[in-house]
Amino acid sequence: MRLWHYVSQAFLAAPTNHTSPQATPSDSLVADTMGSNFNGTMYFGYGSNLWRNQMEQRCPTSEYLGIARLNDYRWIINERGYANVVQINRHHSDTDTAKSYEDEVWGLVYTLQASDEKRLDRNEGVPFAYTKETLECDFWAVKDGAGPANVTKKPKRTDMLVYINRDMVEPSEPKREYIYRMNMGIKDAVKEGVPEKYVDAVMRKFIPKNELVMSEIERAARKQAAEFEDER
């Protein structure tokens, strides 16, 4: 069993409901989706890895499985200028029906072989920019990678690998090239079934639509998509 980097501190008065650092995403659900011979990890991508082309470049053996929702977390651009998920403290009750898109994070789900997981660790800056946790998500699978997912159906609850920074949790501005990559990812995510209302309510607070794509920013974005280099 692989040892994942993990940060145990709580923040924002939120309960520490994340799982053990040595927990692995649901092998049985991966097997159900990919076949009994698959031995990999289910990965929940919520930032620029929504861009299918970027994932194909960074993780060439990865396969798209469907979409997922991480509840009781909030999507932001953090102080580094990149996407992060921040755990929130919601007081649940039997009559609580006020859940909004700001209380959840939507993303795409991919398989990761061990070699691609190592590549992704490098691109995500583990363990400094992000650490790795196993978090339970609502999952809507698609057959043979063909979407869009039908989110009106009841999802399956399963554990997934999530990259998270529990220290940098303040909203900030995105890096210029990241806006381009995020817009490419948003386009793919909506196509695969991520609610456009979620995009408008949450992501568009940080990521403006690309009206005009300036060539130098596009070149920088595509370079970062292939092999990330921290600009700091």
Ligand-binding site membership of 47 (annotated): yes
Residue 123 in tokens: 């691109």
Ligand-binding site membership of 147 (annotated): no
**Helix (H), strand (E) at residue 83:** strand 83-87
Residue 133 in tokens: 């946790």
Ligand-binding site membership of 48 (annotated): yes
Q: Give me the amino acid identity at 159.
A: D
The sign one gets for the Cα dihedral 115, 118, 119, 124 is: positive
My answer on whether omega of the bond before 127 falls inside 30° of 0, hence cis, is yes
Ligand-binding site membership of 11 (annotated): no
Q: Which of 124, 133, 136, 177 is catalytic?
A: 124
Give, to the nearest 10 degrees, the angle between helix 215-226 and helix 176-192: 70
- Strands 131-141, 73-77: pairing is unpaired
Closest CA to 164 of 64, 36, 19, 52: 19
**Residue at token pair 């927990």:** 23
Ligand-binding site membership of 128 (annotated): no
Contacts 24+ apart (CB under 8 A), 12-19: 12/86, 12/87, 12/88, 12/89, 12/169, 13/89, 14/87, 14/88, 14/89, 15/89, 17/72, 17/87, 18/87, 18/133, 18/134, 18/135, 19/133, 19/134, 19/135, 19/136, 19/159
Ligand-binding site membership of 46 (annotated): yes
Please list the residues that pair with 131 across neighbouring strands: 164
| 124 counts as catalytic | yes
| Binding positions for substrate | 43-48, 178
| Binding positions | 43-48, 178
Question: Which residues are annotated as catalytic?
Answer: 124
